[in-house]
Amino acid sequence: MCVSMEKISNLICKETEEAFAACGYDTALAKVTVSNRPDLCEYQCNGAMPLAKKEKKAPIIIAESIKEKLSGNPVFSEVDAVKPGFLNLKLNPEFLADYLTKMSADDRLGCDPVENPKTVIIDYGGPNVAKPLHVGHLRSAIIGESVKRIGRFMGNHMIGDVHLGDWGLQMGLIITELQKRQPELVYFKEDYTGKYPETAPFTISELEEIYPTASKKSKEDEAYKNEAMQATYELQHGRRGYQALLSHILNVSVSDLKKNYERLEVSFDLWKGESDAQPYIPDMVEKMKADGYAYVSDGALVVDVKEESDTKEIPPCMILKSDGASLYNTTDLATIVFRMQDYAPDEIIYVVDKRQELYFTQVFRCAKKTGIVKEDTKLQFLGFGTMNGKDGKPFKTREGGIMRLESLVENTNEEMRRKIIEGGKVAPELVEETSKIISLAAIKYGDLSNQASKDYIFDIDRFTSFEGNTGPYILYTVVRIKSILKKYEESEEDGKDARMAGIEAANSDSEKALMLELAKFNETVENAYYELAPHKICSYIYDLSNAFNRFYHDTPILGEQDEKRRASYIRELNLTKRVLETCIGLLGFYAPERM
């Protein structure tokens, strides 16, 4: 069932607004926020302070008069006016319980979808073909996946595009190296007109060795590099044999990438790459010239993108180099051209390393100015910081090399496996699967709990801990709830219906605290959505888990003698479980049965 639900803070606001209006005060100042002094109250309204000047009265007098109007209001159990003019509010436990009962009955847990759903392309992942995934790509995948899931949950049409780096010198390097090793391959016969073999002449591990070898050689050997550049040129200008090799490289590489992303619970709707944008470049460039936006400067074709209000220098966007070659931004612009043509998105979000911010400012301005997108198409850059090691420097292997994503995942998994075996709660045949589930949570939560734009330290010991602000701690809480629910269901006939009936008013402080947290779900998800901020969901579920565990330690849940109350506890547990599971689903991981 779906019921439309107002956010609880809005319901509270309605009451304060009425009280403000009844006193003749400006209702715009009646805003209520979650208390920053939870020891004193649950919600607070600070409107009396700014009103004081306007009304020429002491703020406490104003607060007192509002308090009077709120007396007897069924939403509150306590309203206090405290100096200098705060209104401290506590919710009526009955009102709160009713709210949670409605929330339980709603399939969306009280979080309404947006009124006008948008089509949004989200460009994330951004791996480069034939080069192994490294930890730098991890953040884009993790953050992008979560932002996509949150947007989708809010009812938008989210299209995830991996935007492969499949265009450039790396292809020419691979072709050149392959030719040195196996010159007899049919792909290199220039006069060949027949069909090319269906299986690739290399495996993924060979490919991953070929690229770095070729790259190293090209740096030491000028002639080799020229050959690779020539091969790249011929590939890009339609040489059949090379194009057949390119599709082999793509196939082999993409199926390996898919395996890696699957392990991370990351999936894409589109597997487009830079190469898909190439056919759109000539027309796009012609139009930019014809419309008078692109002009030649020092031999290169550029579009000015600076604006009067700029406080720092924004260089022109270079469209073609002086030798006529296109660039990374030409590809990005042409990609926008075909995205608009094929999907007409209202918005495109790029989840990319924050060091590319200036670059994207140029691209976005150029796309707007030259009419590639409409004035109201939103182009958003979600830049993320670097993942560092404990030494504060970009994460490396113990030997100082670039850490591969697979190794990072495997190391974390190993640590988790060790912990699980030590804990002894998981059946031997489930150890492997369980440690995979938990280590994924450890990695993703460790990343997502930081504001995306900040750098963070990958600390395997902390991330895999079952205590503190970690993914495993959240999972542990879910598993704890699952096990209580299971015991209840085994012992009671009506266990299965517990979700459907009402929740009773809180019986203790810790129960009320849990209920207050539960009621913040819709607001939290909405904020995370509008601000592209999965970390807000992390801090919410951390608070919620803490509140739950306090309640759990305080309360003999299954030992409760009053049958009705016991059933109400179970409904709360069910609701807590659903909220936590929905949230971790939005973050891109899930909980095991036991741990």
Q: Is 126 in the site for ligand ARG (CB under 6 A)?
A: yes
Stretch of 122-130, 142-150, 403-411, 573-581 contacting ligand ARG, by CB under 6 A: 122-130
Q: Is 352 in the site for ligand ARG (CB under 6 A)?
A: yes
Per CB under 6 A, the list member of 16, 44, 65, 128 interacting with ligand ARG is 128
Distance of CA 130 to the CA centre of its chain: 26
Quote the least distance from Cβ 373 to ligand ARG, whole Å: 14
Distance of CA 422 to the CA centre of its chain: 32
Distance of CA 328 to the CA centre of its chain: 25
Q: Is 123 in the site for ligand ARG (CB under 6 A)?
A: yes
Phi-psi region of 485 (alpha: psi -120 to 50; beta: other; left: phi over 0): alpha
Residue number with CB closer to ligand ARG (12 or 159) = 159
Q: What stretch of H or E contains 79?
A: strand 76-82
Q: Is 578 in the site for ligand ARG (CB under 6 A)?
A: no
Query: Among all chains, which residue has been given the structure tokens 């604006």?
Result: 307
- The two structure tokens encoding residue 14: 């309605």
- In this structure, the number of other CB atoms found within 10 A of the CB of residue 561 comes to 7
Residue number with CB closer to ligand ARG (345 or 472) = 345
Residue number with CB closer to ligand ARG (329 or 464) = 329
Quote the least distance from Cβ 239 to ligand ARG, whole Å: 24
Quote the least distance from Cβ 356 to ligand ARG, whole Å: 7
Residue number with CB closer to ligand ARG (288 or 352) = 352
Residue number with CB closer to ligand ARG (342 or 497) = 342
How far, in Å, CA of 355 to CA of 263, rounded?
A: 27
Nearest to 213 by CA among 130, 128, 137, 126: 130
CB-based contacts of 310: which residues, under 8 Å, 6+ apart? none
- Using CB under 6 A as the binding criterion, the count of chain residues that bind ligand ARG stands at 8
How far, in Å, CA of 111 to CA of 148, rounded?
A: 17
Q: Per-residue b/e over 50-76, b at no fewer than 16 CB within 10 Å? A: ebbeebeeebbebbebbbebbeebebb
How far, in Å, CA of 439 to CA of 119, rounded?
A: 33
Per CB under 6 A, the list member of 332, 511, 523, 572 interacting with ligand ARG is 332
Q: What stretch of H or E contains 166?
A: none
What Cα–Cα distance (Å) separates residue 557 from each residue in 548, 552, 561, 570?
12, 7, 9, 8
Quote the least distance from Cβ 165 to ligand ARG, whole Å: 3
Residue number with CB closer to ligand ARG (59 or 126) = 126
Q: Is 67 in the site for ligand ARG (CB under 6 A)?
A: no
Written as one letter, the residue type at 378 is: K
Q: Is 317 in the site for ligand ARG (CB under 6 A)?
A: no
Quote the least distance from Cβ 35 to ligand ARG, whole Å: 42
Stretch of 21-29, 121-129, 515-523, 586-594 contacting ligand ARG, by CB under 6 A: 121-129
Q: Is 166 in the site for ligand ARG (CB under 6 A)?
A: no
**Restricting to residues 442-501, which ones interact with ligand ARG according to CB under 6 A?**
none
How far, in Å, CA of 358 to CA of 134, rounded?
A: 23
Q: Is 122 in the site for ligand ARG (CB under 6 A)?
A: no
- The two structure tokens encoding residue 245: 């090799």
Quote the least distance from Cβ 363 to ligand ARG, whole Å: 8
Q: Per-residue b/e over 315-348, b at no fewer than 16 CB within 10 Å? A: ebbbbbeeeeebeebbbbbbbbbebbeebebbbb
Quote the least distance from Cβ 372 to ligand ARG, whole Å: 14
Backbone angles phi and psi of 350, in degrees to 5:
-110, 120
Strand duo 347-353 + 119-123: pairing: parallel
How far, in Å, CA of 88 to CA of 30, rounded?
A: 13
Residue number with CB closer to ligand ARG (26 or 353) = 353
- Tell me whether the omega of the peptide bond preceding residue 93 falls within 30 degrees of 0, making it cis: no
Quote the least distance from Cβ 123 to ligand ARG, whole Å: 5
Quote the least distance from Cβ 191 to ligand ARG, whole Å: 35
Quote the least distance from Cβ 127 to ligand ARG, whole Å: 7
Residue nearest to ligand ARG (CB): 126
Per CB under 6 A, the list member of 167, 211, 350, 384 interacting with ligand ARG is 350
Quote the least distance from Cβ 249 to ligand ARG, whole Å: 15
- Contact between residue 452 and residue 385 where contact means Cβ atoms under 8 Å apart: yes
Per CB under 6 A, the list member of 132, 151, 165, 446 interacting with ligand ARG is 165
**Restricting to residues 519-558, which ones interact with ligand ARG according to CB under 6 A?**
none
Per CB under 6 A, the list member of 149, 163, 520, 535 interacting with ligand ARG is 163
Q: Is 253 in the site for ligand ARG (CB under 6 A)?
A: no
Q: Assign 402 to helix, strand or coil.
A: strand
In DSSP terms, 78 is beta-bridged to 90
Quote the least distance from Cβ 293 to ligand ARG, whole Å: 21
- Tell me whether the omega of the peptide bond preceding residue 84 falls within 30 degrees of 0, making it cis: yes
Quote the least distance from Cβ 383 to ligand ARG, whole Å: 11
How far, in Å, CA of 351 to CA of 349, rounded?
A: 7
The footprint of ligand ARG (CB under 6 A) covers 123, 126, 128, 163, 165, 332, 350, 352
